[in-house]
Amino acid sequence: MEIADVDGSGTIDPAEFHEFISKLDESATEDSSKTVFDSIDADGDGQLTVAEFGAALFECLKSMKTDEAGV
């Protein structure tokens, strides 16, 4: 989480999330990052907690593994 939590607040805001996503995908736009952010912000408070961020990463990795397996 620390890699994305630039200001050390313990949560990730939309700007920090976009910065993190942009490092992974240079073609990511702020709008696309915000769409993803909103979909994983489970409580809708505009911040990602460790639990929300971890759950999103888990789902992403699970999806990648499924794609690799051809399922």
Interval 47-67: pLDDT, tens: 999 999 888 888 877 877 777
- Distance from C-alpha of 40 to C-alpha of 54, rounded to nearest angstrom: 10
The radius of gyration of the chain's CA atoms, rounded to the nearest angstrom, is 12
Helix 50-69, helix 30-40: angle, nearest 10: 100
pLDDT tens digits for 21-47?
899 888 989 999 899 899 999 999 999
Residue 71 is predicted with a pLDDT of: 57
- Kindly report whether the global pTM for this prediction surpasses the value 0.85: no
- Cβ atoms within 10 Å of 36's Cβ, excluding its own: 17
Cβ-Cβ contacts under 8 Å for 58 (sequence gap 6 or more):
none
